[in-house]
Structure 1
Amino acid sequence: MSQVKVIGIDLGKSTFHLIGHDFSGREMFRHKYSRSMLIDFLSIQDKTIIAMEACCGAHWLARKCKSFGHEVKLIPAQYVKPYVKSHKNDYIDADAIAEAATRPNMRFVSVKSEEAQLGIVIRRIRSGYIKERTACMNRIGSILLEFGLSFPRGHHQMKNLFQWIADQKELPPLLLGELTAQFEYYNQLNTWIKEQENKLLALNKENEVAKLLQTIPGVGPMTASCCISAVGSPQDFDNGRNFAAWLGLVPFQYSTGGKPRMLGISKRGNKELRELFIHAARAVMWRDNTAEKFFGTWLLDLKCRKPFNVALVALANKLARIAWSVMTTKKAFEVRV
């Protein structure tokens, strides 16, 4: 076993398939384990490279392997696919993972900390509550529409729901009971959303990087928290341009035969973080005084020359590059006059 260079693990919910390669790339063993058996197996192995796809459950297992002294390499699933030979099964996938991990130019994903994963969980639950709240509001509007009432759009209208109904027409008591139940559920969702936001604030209260990120114009606690959770290590990116490209805030390139062709933004990478940077840019763009204060005439001239959304994405790209610099240098954003 001391000759094992890399162990590729194909992750599953309850079963895990392993293949070990020696230093010449030959297969040395293949095993199928349950979760508890896998932990026992890895705990007695000599220190080696453990390779996995960066998917569900990978970061927890990676931290476990690191505690045993192993070197862990997490690979994006799309980079493993070219190494899958012929048909697809769990052992072939594990073999492809082990081979991909040995490539000199392979790109890897940093292992996320437990705190970073907790931040992701809290934000996902909050996003679910927001979707349910919107669905509840639409449900109330559709019920009223069936009885000839067109309720005004927007969450700010919901607090005056029953006063608005009373001003319109009399409704059946049973219908009012149903609307009351939905309205109470809507208010409960608002409470839960606020609780999730407070949890995020408490989680990042002592995080210095989160405080530094919030010095960037338009970046608030939610964007800062998402940055810390999504980016395991800013050193994974050579520069801010690579970070912005990873987020999908650059044009998609389709060039061949020496003819460059740039399309719309690629929208690849972390969808949540890209969306938050877009919102951050929009918060800055709406206020000309703020835009000029932090970015000079560059942004105002861009707004005049280009459509609003084009300028918006350009500013989001700039904010992402600034965020990478702040995370790398551990220095607050400063306005250069």
Structure 2
Amino acid sequence: MAIITIGIDLAKNVFAVHGVDETGKPNLVKPKVQRADLLALIVQLPPCLIGMEACSGAHHWARLFQQHGHTVKLIAPKFVAPYRLGGKHGKNDAADAAAICEAVTRPHMRFVPIKSADQQALLTLHRTRQGLVEDRTATYNRIRGLIAEFGIVLPQKVERLRREIGAHLEDLPGWANRCIGDLLQYASQLSERIDSYSDAIAQQARQDDRARQLQRQPGIGPTTASALLASIGAGHDFDSGRQLAAWIGLVPGQYSSGGKTRLGRITKAGDAYLRSLLVMGARAVLAGLGDKQDRYSRWARNLQSRRGYWKAVVAIAAKNARMAWAILRYGHDFTVLAD
């Protein structure tokens, strides 16, 4: 019988492929396929369902396989693990491929949206900027730790640190003075690069109609709008805005049993970068409420007074995720109505 489902365990150079026919019987088992031979192997097969874990290179392979008529689904690795652990074999590439082949056929399995080359290029801009921000934070923390060894303790705010550390540099003995000076210079260079990437993201957001539409929603700026476009595209991989919010990890985790509903903290699933941008945008909304009396501001203020600051932040972030899905999916302006 013809192969209808394939599971591929991705790697750098050697891949494992597991294919089954319509009865579920293995019909293509190749535990070691070289990277140069993988595409040729898949191209010669009739159109079928291909499952892969969402890891490095998965989106590239998905686009290649789709060009040859195959249906490709990407699965988060944590959703594949139960199908592997429940099998007869241990952890190896062949067992992973068989588990992926089984998981991709499950009717309620959740899949990762396949990104286009343009989306990945835009995400590269975001990932590079975020990496530079983390490097800068680590550098300033390293500076604080080093000068603390000499009894110098400065405020955590970067502006005050840079402003006040100059008066203490001469008090540092020997190589300490040079090292701290070099670290400060390195942090300044990182800040310049971060600013250049931020400008590039803002420029891209200004040139995209959908990004400009997203920015009309309170709490969504150029960076968040650009990240949403790069991560979810037109939102066609999600059936509803709540599903997107759940994918990002902004909905409560459930611990219900015996007819009793118990809701815990948010799941924090999905993309931590996208979730953090939405949360920071929600915090900016609450910080900028002031005495505003429009409908949205009254709702946010009442929500904060009833449920507390952090629950209000999460609720606003989840609302923005749902609104963003509606804007990207249907192309309408779902801005919040004001009085």
Q: Tell me if TM exceeds 0.5.
A: yes
Pick from 113, 117, 120 the counterpart of residue 114 of structure 1. Answer: 117
Q: Distance in 1 between matches of 2:68 and 2:151?
A: 66
Q: Distance in 2 between matches of 1:294 and 1:62?
A: 44
Aligned to 1:146: 149
Aligned to 2:237: 236
Structure-to-structure mapping, 1:33-182, within 5 angstroms: 33-84=33-84, 85-88=87-90, 89-161=92-164, 163-165=166-168, 170-172=171-173, 174-182=175-183
CA contact (8 A) 2:249 2:266 kept: yes
- Indicate the SS of the match to 1:288: coil
1:217-238 CA deviation, whole Å, 9 max, x = no partner?
1211221122122225512222
Q: Identify unmatched segments of 5+ residues in structure 2.
A: none
- Indicate the SS of the match to 2:326: helix
The 10-residue stretch of structure 1 (178-187 or 155-164) with the greater mean CA deviation from structure 2: 155-164
CA contact (8 A) 2:289 2:297 kept: no
Q: Distance in 1 between matches of 2:57 and 2:254?
A: 33
Q: Does 1:246 align with 2:243?
A: no
Aligned to 2:261: 260
Aligned to 1:8: 7
Q: In the superposition, relative to structure 1, how do residues 38 and 174 fare at CA in structure 2: closer, same or farther (>3 Å)?
A: closer
The 10-residue stretch of structure 1 (297-306 or 75-84) with the greater mean CA deviation from structure 2: 75-84
Q: Which letter does structure 2 place at the counterpart of 1:86?
A: K
Q: Distance in 1 between matches of 2:290 and 2:165?
A: 40
Q: Distance in 1 between matches of 2:138 and 2:110?
A: 40
C-alpha displacement at 1:240, in angstroms? 1.4
- Indicate the SS of the match to 1:19: strand
Aligned to 1:29: 28
Q: Distance in 2 between matches of 1:266 and 1:290?
A: 33
C-alpha displacement at 1:196, in angstroms? 2.3
Q: Distance in 1 between matches of 2:322 and 2:63?
A: 29
Q: In the superposition, relative to structure 1, how do residues 129 and 21 fare at CA in structure 2: closer, same or farther (>3 Å)?
A: same
- Indicate the SS of the match to 2:236: helix
Aligned to 1:185: 186
1:225-278 CA deviation, whole Å, 9 max, x = no partner?
221222255122221122212222222111111111111222222211111111
CA contact (8 A) 2:235 2:329 kept: yes
User: What RMSD, in angstroms, separates the aligned Cα atoms of the two structures?
Assistant: 2.3
Q: In the superposition, relative to structure 1, how do residues 18 and 154 fare at CA in structure 2: closer, same or farther (>3 Å)?
A: same
- Indicate the SS of the match to 1:269: coil
C-alpha displacement at 1:65, in angstroms? 0.7
CA contact (8 A) 2:17 2:97 kept: yes
CA contact (8 A) 1:292 1:300 kept: no
Structure-to-structure mapping, 1:290-305, within 5 angstroms: 292-293=293-294, 295-305=296-306
Q: Distance in 2 between matches of 1:325 and 1:307?
A: 27
How many pairs align?
Answer: 334
Q: Distance in 2 between matches of 1:102 and 1:171?
A: 64
Aligned to 1:270: 271
Q: In the superposition, relative to structure 1, how do residues 97 and 172 fare at CA in structure 2: closer, same or farther (>3 Å)?
A: closer
Q: Distance in 2 between matches of 1:124 and 1:13?
A: 21
Q: Give TM-score scaled by structure 2 length.
A: 0.89
C-alpha displacement at 1:75, in angstroms? 2.2
CA contact (8 A) 1:15 1:33 kept: yes
- Indicate the SS of the match to 1:236: coil
Q: Which letter does structure 2 place at the counterpart of 1:114?
A: A
CA contact (8 A) 2:9 2:53 kept: yes
Q: Identify unmatched segments of 5+ residues in structure 1.
A: none
CA contact (8 A) 2:6 2:49 kept: yes
Question: Percent same amino acid among aligned pairs?
Answer: 37
Q: Which letter does structure 1 place at the counterpart of 2:111?
A: F
C-alpha displacement at 1:291, in angstroms? 6.2
C-alpha displacement at 1:311, in angstroms? 1.4
Q: Distance in 2 between matches of 1:65 and 1:292?
A: 53
CA contact (8 A) 1:213 1:326 kept: yes
Q: In the superposition, relative to structure 1, how do residues 172 and 234 fare at CA in structure 2: closer, same or farther (>3 Å)?
A: same
Q: Give TM-score scaled by structure 1 length.
A: 0.90
CA contact (8 A) 1:217 1:294 kept: no
CA contact (8 A) 2:50 2:70 kept: yes
